[in-house]
Amino acid sequence: MNLVLLVGSFFVMLFLGIPIAFALCISSLLYLVIYCPTIPLIIVAQQMLKGVDSFTLLAIPFFVIAGALMQSGGISRRIVDFAKQLVGWLPGGLAIVDILASMIFAAMTGAGAATTAAVGGIMIPSMEEDGYDPGFASAVQAMGGIFGPIIPPSTLMVLYAVASGESVADMFLGGILPGLVLGGILIVVVVALCVKKGYGVKKKEEKGKFSLKALGKSFVDAIWAILAPVIILGGIYSGLFTPTEASAVCCFYCLIVGLFIYKETKWSDIPKLVYGGVKSAAGIMLIVAATQVFGWVITRVRIPQTIAAAFTASISSPTVFVFAVCLILLVAGCFIDAVPALLIFAPIFVPTAIAYNINLIYFGVIMVIVLCIGLATPPVGINLYVASSVGGQPVHKIIPHLPIPLLAIAVSTILLIMVPGIITVLPNLAA
């Protein structure tokens, strides 16, 4: 009955529209008041503080601010220009540019909404001008935005590492190849759709031909932007600085590039950019604090142990267990944002994964990928609403274009589950 109260009250409040952080705290308080009256309620504040008292979590506000600095400093625009010269001349070229630019931007920010906004603000109007259906253009951008938390650095991977006790650097390494595989498959599928629908297939004389000179010029112009992920990831894996320090370096680097190299960031813009980044990060940290309380209570109720016993008693195959978790996360991701979903389910499923002797880096990357699918699915997919906003299209005109790209990502995820080496090879080499 205590389990019903805890979980049931949380979902009731969730469906009533109460913010997730408050729903988590209130359901935890209800449980403590009714079933643990001898426990002082100050434990709630102590657990919330414990949840955010982490040096690793400092990476989140820095990466969020870095994303805002990239957008204002002209970094995202130069990445898009370089991608246009590289692949824009191909059939469906602007759709490829959209996904490729999103993948490059993802390698700097680690956030899906930031990637969707920064790249979509440039690419969606460009695609419309080239004859693409506006709903399709917005759908492509919503899908491109899912790479924000998959390709490192990733805020979701930082949160998983904190929740599971794994290395942030190993999580980042584990996400590189899966991100490239998913991106490659999505590009192939989207190009096939463009050819079928007749998008971006103008005659060569209208589209322009590939120009090595123009590519070189755009590369030189974008070199400072492209160096950002090299500095971030190179610094982490060389041992020069920790992932948290890397996020601060990224933030400082983007500020210097925007102010003094591209000269598109104004000194007067900085307070507004920092405030916006801190405000976004504060929302994430509040959810982190609330899930710490909820996690402490569910551990006291022994939910992880109960689930582990139920799974291991009924499922003998670790692979079947991973598929079962993916199905649960796929459904949850449609109704809960990726950050709270990860923080809620990681403490529940990680002990079971340990019982199955599943590699936790592999398990974490799969969890992140599946939850990122939810970023582009209704009813709460944040990428959908960001793409709708920057593209000026209602959500109901974007959704019909999503099933095939989403299916492609789902099939790709099955490939990653069945071939764990794609995820674990780089962390193992670095060990």
pTM of the model: 0.82
**Identity of the residue numbered 39:** I
Helix (H) or strand (E) holding 419: none
| Cα gap 174→35, rounded to integer Å | 41
* Ordered per-residue pLDDT tens for the chain, 431 residues: 566 777 788 888 878 888 888 888 898 888 888 888 888 888 888 888 887 877 777 777 887 788 778 777 777 788 888 888 887 777 788 888 889 888 888 877 667 777 888 788 888 888 888 888 989 999 999 999 898 888 888 888 988 998 888 888 899 899 999 999 999 999 999 999 988 888 766 544 445 567 788 888 888 888 888 887 788 778 877 778 887 888 888 888 888 988 888 888 888 888 888 888 788 778 878 888 888 888 888 777 777 777 777 777 788 889 999 999 998 888 888 777 788 888 888 888 998 899 899 999 999 999 999 999 988 887 777 888 888 888 888 888 898 999 999 999 999 999 999 999 999 999 998 76
Rounded to the nearest 5 degrees, what angle is found at the Cα of 336, between the Cα atoms of 10 and 121? 150
| Cα gap 290→26, rounded to integer Å | 9
| Cα gap 195→34, rounded to integer Å | 61
Nearest residue to 226 (alpha-carbon basis) of 271, 261, 191: 261
